[in-house]
Amino acid sequence: MYPLEISLLESKIGYTFKDKNIIKTALTHSSYAYEQKSHKIDAECNERLEFLGDSVLSLVVSEYLFEKYATKAEGELTKIRASLVCTRSLSSFANKIELGSFLYLGKGEEQTGRTNVKILENAFESLLAAIYVDSGKKETVAKFLIPIIEEEIKTVGADVNYDYKTSLQQFIQAIGNDRIQYVCVGESGPDHNKIFEVVVKINSNTVGTGTGKTKREAEQMAAKEALKLFDVK
């Protein structure tokens, strides 16, 4: 019966919360909070914690990469960080601790919400914020997060190229059965130095435009713009 007991989550993450209310808030989706309020029961959702968790995540990961890869340039570090804090990675991290099983969801989200990549991403960021606020220490967050980050780097490699197309595909699949289409709408320049322009469409709506020296690069840039439009990291 969902959600599972918070004590089980505490054992998975190796941290026991002093304030049980903050971890419950971190696990509370807006759909559940709305339903509770309709019954005149106060319930706060995890959106504020998600906001804080995004910054905590970025700081912890950035400090780790800065220290681990002392010889890498800023651009390389940014690329690695992007691959670690994207929706795909964060939802994967959430799945490693079965975070979906602990979420408080409204009835409308119960069927698919526990595996929804966007909901899992947001909940994971909220969890990080809850650990940070409850412990008062960034180091406590790092103690939990860094081993997960290190495992991810070993799996995908530190020099992974961030795949915006895959991230967009996963996001769209999670929210519905909309069809993604990449269309080359222009070419310019001489044959040895062409620039391609590509748009990405969801159903019939253009949601991103990108240019590149190859169609593949242009598609990646179009997908990146679409992810920015949807506020997907």
Number of domains in the chain: 2
Spatial separation of the C-alpha atoms in residues 174 and 167, rounded to whole Å: 11
| Whether residue 94 sits in one domain with residue 24 | yes
Domain range enclosing 191 = 164-229
Q: Are 116 and 141 within one domain?
A: yes
35 with 124, same domain: the answer is yes
Domain limit, last residue, from 106, 126, 156:
156
Q: How far apart are CA 222 and CA 227, in angstroms?
A: 9
Q: Are 33 and 47 in contact (CB under 8 A)?
A: no
Question: What CATH number corresponds to the domain at position 43?
Answer: 1.10.1520.10
Beta-ladder partners of 211: 197
- Asked if 150 and 180 sit in the same domain, the reply is no
The pLDDT confidence band at residue 8, using thresholds 50, 70 and 90, is: very high
Write the DSSP assignment of 54-84 as a string of letters: HHHHHHHHHHHHHHH-TT--HHHHHHHHHHH
- Percent of the chain at pLDDT > 70 equals 95
Q: For 46-74, what is the mean pLDDT?
A: 94
Looking at the annotation, which residues are catalytic? 54, 125
Torsions phi, psi of 3, nearest 5?
A: -75, 155
Quote the mean pLDDT of the chain. 89
- Beta strands across the sheet bearing 195-202: 180-188, 195-202, 205-212
Are 70 and 185 in a shared domain? no
Pairing of strands 180-188, 195-202: antiparallel
For 144-180, the pLDDT digits (tens) are 999 999 988 876 654 455 678 888 888 888 877 678 9
Given 107, 130, 156, the domain boundary residue is 156
User: Tokens standing for 151?
Assistant: 């495992």
Tell me whether residue 1 is in a domain: no
Residues 80 and 134 in one domain: yes
Burial (Cβ within 10 Å: 0-12, 13-18, ≥19) of residue 147: exposed
| Neighbouring residues of 102: CB distance < 8 A, sequence distance ≥ 6 | 2, 3, 4, 6, 8, 9, 27
pLDDT at 158: 46
**Count of Cβ atoms closer than 10 Å to residue 65 Cβ:** 20
**Residue 70 to residues 57, 105, 148, 150: CA-CA distances in angstroms?**
20, 43, 20, 16
Running DSSP on this structure, what letter comes out for residue 97? T
Domain final residue pick, 156, 182, 198: 156
pTM for this structure? 0.72
Query: 85 and 15 share a domain?
Result: yes
Question: Are residues 152 and 168 located together in one domain of the fold?
Answer: no
Q: For the segment 203-229, what is each residue's pLDDT rounded down to a tens digit?
A: 889 999 988 878 887 898 899 899 888
Tokens of 185: 């709408």
